Amino acid sequence: MMQLNIIVAAFLGAVSLTTPAVFADPGPNTQNDARDLFKVFATHPSGLALLDADDDGDLDCMKAVRTNYDESGPSAEYVWILKGLNGHPMKNITVHFEKGDTPDKAVVTVDNAQDQKLEARAIYADFHSCAVLDIPYNSKPRCLLWVTEEAKDNIPSKCHEEFLKNCNTENIIYDKETCDQV
């Protein structure tokens, strides 16, 4: 019987040393972390909208530049620079984000329209080169793939996969040939 106890103890010791901890801290690359909207804003002072889920052309060649970020709020403000293609007017739009009820959400106002508070949400971000965000424009949600200037010609496959998985349809709103001319 003693020999059986020693074998069982040795087996349990070996299993506990070779099996990963099921309840360990998952680390910084969890799904929740990949949806922290204000972490996206903190790490990206600017971006290009590369893909859109509709094909109306109003956001073609759009660039966003962060003009304010307050970690304590948190809050962020970006100016969207619309190039005015496809019969749409050229204009700049100020988009203000305030803390939402969960880390993946923010309350959005466009051009200080305080009576029209909308909701934005982070779907996915790698915090290096891309983010898939659902941000309202013209009072309707917009699923967009945002990339850094450096990633615009070489989108990481995970970013593209997350956009397709979550946004259902793909319309290219940035292409080098068109956007470099405006």
pLDDT at site 182: 67
Residue 145 CA to residue 126 CA, distance in Å, equals 12
Residue 26 CA to residue 60 CA, distance in Å, equals 38
pLDDT at site 58: 86
Query: What is the CATH superfamily name and number for domain 29-179?
Result: Calycin beta-barrel core domain (2.40.128.20)
pLDDT at site 179: 86
pTM over 0.85: no
Please, are residues 100 and 119 in contact by the beta-carbon 8 Å criterion? yes
Mean pLDDT check: name the lowest of 26-35, 37-46, 129-138, 153-162. Answer: 26-35
| DSSP symbols for 12-66 | HHHHHHHSPPTTS---TTSTTGGG-HHHHHHH-SEEEEEEESS-S-TTTT-EEEE
pLDDT tens for each residue of 159-176: 999 999 999 889 999 988
* Higher local confidence (pLDDT), 48 or 21: 48
Q: What are the domain boundaries of the chain? A: 29-179
Residue 115 CA to residue 118 CA, distance in Å, equals 10
pLDDT tens for each residue of 116-133: 889 999 999 999 999 999
Q: Is the dihedral of CA 101, 39, 30, 164 positive or negative?
A: positive
Question: Which is nearest to 102 in space by CA: 32, 43, 167, 28?
Answer: 32
pLDDT tens for each residue of 93-114: 999 999 999 999 999 999 978 7
